[in-house]
Amino acid sequence: MNVLITGVSRGIGLALTQQALEKGHNVLGIARKAAASEQLMHIQKNSRNLLQLVPVDLADEGACAEISSVISEWACLDILINNAGIYASGNTKKDFLESFEINTIMPYLLTKSLLPKLQASKKPKLIHISSIMGSITENSSGGSEAYRSSKTALNMLNKCLSLEYKWLTSIVMHPGWVQTRMGGEGALISPEASAKGIWEVIAKIGTKESGAFFDYQGKSLSW
Protein backbone atom coordinates (compact mmCIF):
# COMPACT_ATOMS: atom_id res chain seq x y z
CA MET A 1 0.00 0.00 0.00
CA ASN A 2 1.02 3.63 -0.49
CA VAL A 3 1.37 5.50 2.78
CA LEU A 4 2.21 9.12 3.57
CA ILE A 5 3.30 10.00 7.12
CA THR A 6 4.21 13.47 8.38
CA GLY A 7 6.80 14.09 11.11
CA VAL A 8 8.90 10.97 10.59
CA SER A 9 12.22 12.26 11.97
CA ARG A 10 11.59 10.94 15.50
CA GLY A 11 9.03 9.77 18.04
CA ILE A 12 5.78 8.17 16.97
CA GLY A 13 6.21 9.11 13.30
CA LEU A 14 9.57 7.33 13.14
CA ALA A 15 8.10 4.16 14.70
CA LEU A 16 5.06 4.29 12.39
CA THR A 17 7.45 4.53 9.43
CA GLN A 18 9.63 1.61 10.56
CA GLN A 19 6.57 -0.60 11.02
CA ALA A 20 5.01 0.46 7.70
CA LEU A 21 8.21 -0.62 5.95
CA GLU A 22 8.18 -3.95 7.80
CA LYS A 23 4.67 -4.47 6.39
CA GLY A 24 6.04 -3.84 2.89
CA HIS A 25 4.26 -0.52 2.34
CA ASN A 26 5.65 2.24 0.11
CA VAL A 27 6.20 5.19 2.42
CA LEU A 28 6.54 8.86 1.67
CA GLY A 29 7.88 10.47 4.84
CA ILE A 30 7.75 14.17 5.57
CA ALA A 31 10.71 15.34 7.66
CA ARG A 32 11.93 18.92 7.59
CA LYS A 33 15.46 17.92 8.69
CA ALA A 34 15.62 14.32 7.54
CA ALA A 35 19.42 14.19 7.34
CA ALA A 36 19.72 15.31 10.97
CA SER A 37 17.95 12.17 12.19
CA GLU A 38 20.45 9.31 12.42
CA GLN A 39 17.69 6.79 13.11
CA LEU A 40 15.71 7.89 10.07
CA MET A 41 18.80 7.71 7.85
CA HIS A 42 19.47 4.18 9.12
CA ILE A 43 15.86 3.13 8.42
CA GLN A 44 16.03 4.59 4.93
CA LYS A 45 19.30 2.79 4.17
CA ASN A 46 17.65 -0.54 4.98
CA SER A 47 14.31 0.23 3.35
CA ARG A 48 14.94 -1.48 -0.01
CA ASN A 49 13.91 1.82 -1.64
CA LEU A 50 10.45 1.66 -0.06
CA LEU A 51 11.02 4.89 1.87
CA GLN A 52 11.14 8.22 0.08
CA LEU A 53 11.82 11.26 2.24
CA VAL A 54 10.57 14.75 1.46
CA PRO A 55 12.33 17.53 3.40
CA VAL A 56 9.38 19.85 3.86
CA ASP A 57 8.70 22.19 6.76
CA LEU A 58 4.93 22.14 7.19
CA ALA A 59 5.04 25.77 8.26
CA ASP A 60 6.32 26.79 4.81
CA GLU A 61 3.93 28.42 2.38
CA GLY A 62 4.51 25.93 -0.44
CA ALA A 63 4.41 22.76 1.74
CA CYS A 64 1.19 21.25 0.33
CA ALA A 65 2.16 22.00 -3.27
CA GLU A 66 5.58 20.42 -2.80
CA ILE A 67 4.17 17.25 -1.24
CA SER A 68 1.44 17.00 -3.91
CA SER A 69 4.05 17.34 -6.63
CA VAL A 70 6.16 14.48 -5.21
CA ILE A 71 3.12 12.25 -4.78
CA SER A 72 1.92 12.91 -8.33
CA GLU A 73 4.07 9.90 -9.35
CA TRP A 74 1.82 7.59 -7.28
CA ALA A 75 -1.39 6.25 -8.82
CA CYS A 76 -3.11 6.52 -5.45
CA LEU A 77 -2.62 7.20 -1.75
CA ASP A 78 -4.06 4.47 0.50
CA ILE A 79 -3.20 5.80 3.95
CA LEU A 80 -2.45 9.35 5.05
CA ILE A 81 -1.21 9.77 8.63
CA ASN A 82 -1.11 13.38 9.81
CA ASN A 83 1.26 12.82 12.72
CA ALA A 84 3.55 15.88 12.89
CA GLY A 85 2.70 18.04 15.86
CA ILE A 86 4.06 20.55 18.32
CA TYR A 87 3.45 21.09 22.00
CA ALA A 88 3.56 24.70 23.11
CA SER A 89 4.06 24.91 26.86
CA GLY A 90 2.79 28.48 26.97
CA ASN A 91 -0.39 30.16 25.88
CA THR A 92 0.81 33.33 24.19
CA LYS A 93 -0.67 34.51 20.91
CA LYS A 94 2.41 33.05 19.18
CA ASP A 95 1.87 29.69 20.95
CA PHE A 96 -1.74 29.58 19.77
CA LEU A 97 -0.90 30.54 16.18
CA GLU A 98 1.95 28.02 15.87
CA SER A 99 -0.06 25.24 17.53
CA PHE A 100 -3.04 25.79 15.26
CA GLU A 101 -0.83 26.06 12.18
CA ILE A 102 0.93 22.71 12.67
CA ASN A 103 -1.60 20.69 14.70
CA THR A 104 -4.82 21.78 13.01
CA ILE A 105 -4.63 23.81 9.81
CA MET A 106 -1.85 21.91 8.02
CA PRO A 107 -3.36 18.43 8.57
CA TYR A 108 -6.59 19.81 7.10
CA LEU A 109 -4.97 21.60 4.13
CA LEU A 110 -2.64 18.70 3.36
CA THR A 111 -5.61 16.32 3.40
CA LYS A 112 -7.58 18.60 1.07
CA SER A 113 -4.69 18.81 -1.38
CA LEU A 114 -4.28 15.01 -1.40
CA LEU A 115 -7.99 14.12 -1.77
CA PRO A 116 -7.72 13.20 -5.48
CA LYS A 117 -4.98 10.69 -4.71
CA LEU A 118 -6.92 9.32 -1.73
CA GLN A 119 -10.04 8.98 -3.87
CA ALA A 120 -8.05 6.92 -6.36
CA SER A 121 -7.49 4.26 -3.64
CA LYS A 122 -9.94 1.36 -3.17
CA LYS A 123 -10.07 1.80 0.63
CA PRO A 124 -8.57 5.18 1.52
CA LYS A 125 -7.85 5.84 5.18
CA LEU A 126 -7.03 9.13 6.85
CA ILE A 127 -5.57 9.10 10.35
CA HIS A 128 -5.09 12.28 12.34
CA ILE A 129 -2.86 11.82 15.37
CA SER A 130 -4.75 13.92 17.88
CA SER A 131 -4.61 13.67 21.68
CA ILE A 132 -6.80 12.89 24.65
CA MET A 133 -5.78 16.41 25.71
CA GLY A 134 -8.14 17.64 22.98
CA SER A 135 -11.09 15.93 24.65
CA ILE A 136 -13.32 18.44 26.46
CA THR A 137 -14.99 15.66 28.48
CA GLU A 138 -11.66 14.23 29.67
CA ASN A 139 -10.15 17.59 30.63
CA SER A 140 -9.88 17.38 34.40
CA SER A 141 -6.90 19.68 35.03
CA GLY A 142 -6.97 22.55 32.54
CA GLY A 143 -3.70 24.12 31.32
CA SER A 144 -1.92 23.76 27.95
CA GLU A 145 -4.74 25.72 26.34
CA ALA A 146 -2.96 26.32 23.02
CA TYR A 147 -2.13 22.64 22.55
CA ARG A 148 -5.45 21.32 23.85
CA SER A 149 -7.61 23.60 21.73
CA SER A 150 -5.55 22.93 18.58
CA LYS A 151 -6.28 19.21 19.00
CA THR A 152 -9.98 19.85 19.81
CA ALA A 153 -10.21 21.81 16.56
CA LEU A 154 -8.45 19.00 14.71
CA ASN A 155 -11.10 16.60 16.02
CA MET A 156 -13.80 18.88 14.64
CA LEU A 157 -12.13 19.12 11.23
CA ASN A 158 -11.89 15.34 11.10
CA LYS A 159 -15.61 15.05 11.78
CA CYS A 160 -16.33 17.55 8.98
CA LEU A 161 -14.12 15.62 6.54
CA SER A 162 -15.82 12.34 7.45
CA LEU A 163 -19.25 13.84 6.73
CA GLU A 164 -18.23 15.53 3.49
CA TYR A 165 -16.30 12.61 1.97
CA LYS A 166 -18.33 9.47 2.57
CA TRP A 167 -15.91 7.37 0.52
CA LEU A 168 -13.10 8.15 2.96
CA THR A 169 -12.45 6.48 6.32
CA SER A 170 -11.29 9.38 8.43
CA ILE A 171 -10.52 9.06 12.16
CA VAL A 172 -8.69 10.85 14.97
CA MET A 173 -6.47 8.89 17.34
CA HIS A 174 -4.87 9.37 20.74
CA PRO A 175 -1.51 7.54 20.54
CA GLY A 176 -1.24 6.97 24.31
CA TRP A 177 1.21 8.76 26.57
CA VAL A 178 4.37 8.01 24.66
CA GLN A 179 8.11 8.23 25.48
CA THR A 180 9.10 10.82 22.88
CA ARG A 181 10.58 14.30 23.08
CA MET A 182 7.00 15.54 23.42
CA GLY A 183 5.76 12.90 25.86
CA GLY A 184 8.90 12.89 28.04
CA GLU A 185 10.82 10.04 29.65
CA GLY A 186 8.17 9.42 32.29
CA ALA A 187 5.55 8.53 29.69
CA LEU A 188 3.86 5.14 29.86
CA ILE A 189 4.59 3.44 26.55
CA SER A 190 7.29 3.25 23.89
CA PRO A 191 6.84 4.75 20.41
CA GLU A 192 6.98 1.18 19.06
CA ALA A 193 4.05 0.03 21.25
CA SER A 194 2.03 3.10 20.26
CA ALA A 195 2.76 2.61 16.55
CA LYS A 196 1.90 -1.11 16.73
CA GLY A 197 -1.49 -0.26 18.25
CA ILE A 198 -2.12 2.50 15.71
CA TRP A 199 -1.39 0.11 12.81
CA GLU A 200 -3.74 -2.49 14.33
CA VAL A 201 -6.53 0.10 14.50
CA ILE A 202 -5.83 1.22 10.92
CA ALA A 203 -6.12 -2.37 9.71
CA LYS A 204 -9.55 -2.78 11.38
CA ILE A 205 -11.35 0.42 10.44
CA GLY A 206 -13.68 1.02 7.49
CA THR A 207 -16.15 3.71 6.46
CA LYS A 208 -18.49 2.63 9.31
CA GLU A 209 -15.91 3.98 11.79
CA SER A 210 -15.33 7.24 9.92
CA GLY A 211 -15.50 10.32 12.13
CA ALA A 212 -14.60 8.37 15.29
CA PHE A 213 -12.03 9.09 18.01
CA PHE A 214 -9.98 6.05 19.12
CA ASP A 215 -6.95 5.48 21.28
CA TYR A 216 -4.05 3.29 20.14
CA GLN A 217 -5.76 0.25 21.65
CA GLY A 218 -8.93 0.80 19.64
CA LYS A 219 -10.92 2.15 22.61
CA SER A 220 -13.54 4.74 21.67
CA LEU A 221 -12.89 8.13 23.33
CA SER A 222 -15.33 10.85 24.29
CA TRP A 223 -15.20 14.31 22.77
Please report whether residue 96 would count as binding ligand NAP according to CB under 6 A: no
Is residue 111 part of the contact set for ligand NAP (CB under 6 A)?
no
Q: What stretches of the chain show up as alpha helix (H) in DSSP?
A: 11-22, 38-45, 63-71, 93-100, 106-119, 145-164, 191-204
| Using rule CB under 6 A, residue 42 touches ligand NAP | no
57 belongs to the binding site for ligand NAP (CB under 6 A): yes
The CA–CA distances, whole Å, from 165 to 70, 158, 168, 173 equal 24, 10, 6, 19
- What phi, psi does 6 have (nearest 5°)? -95, 150
Q: How far apart are the C-alpha atoms of 166 and 53, rounded to whole Å?
A: 30
Measure the CA–CA gap between 15 and 183, rounded to whole angstroms: 14
Q: Is 197 in the site for ligand NAP (CB under 6 A)?
A: no
Return the residue of 2, 17, 47, 83 that touches ligand NAP, per CB under 6 A: 83
CB of residue 102 to ligand NAP, shortest distance in Å: 5
Residue 102 as a binder of ligand NAP (CB under 6 A): the answer is: yes
Q: Mark 127-164 as b/e (b = at least 16 C-beta within 10 Å).
A: bbbbbbbbbeeeeeeeebebbbbbbbbbbebbbebbee
Q: Using CB under 6 A, which residues numbered 9 to 38 contact ligand NAP?
A: 9-13, 30, 32-33
Closest contact distance (angstroms) between CB of 223 and ligand NAP is 16
Q: What values do phi and psi take at 11, rounded to 5?
A: 60, -140
Cα separation, 208 vs 41, whole angstroms: 38
Work out how close the CB of 12 gets to ligand NAP at its nearest, in angstroms, rounded to a whole number.
4
- Under the binding rule (CB under 6 A), the answer on residue 219 touching ligand NAP is no
Tell me how far, at minimum, the Cβ of 49 lies from ligand NAP, in Å. 22
Is residue 93 involved in binding ligand NAP (CB under 6 A)?
no
Tell whether residue 198 is a contact of ligand NAP (CB under 6 A).
Answer: no
Q: Read off φ and ψ for residue 66, nearest 5 degrees.
A: -65, -45
Q: Report the residue number, 11 or 197, with the smaller CB distance to ligand NAP.
A: 11
Interface residue with ligand NAP, options 50, 120, 156, 182 (CB under 6 A): 182
- Sole window of 7-15, 47-55, 138-146, 212-220 interacting with ligand NAP (rule: CB under 6 A): 7-15
Instruction: Count interface residues toward ligand NAP (CB under 6 A).
Output: 28
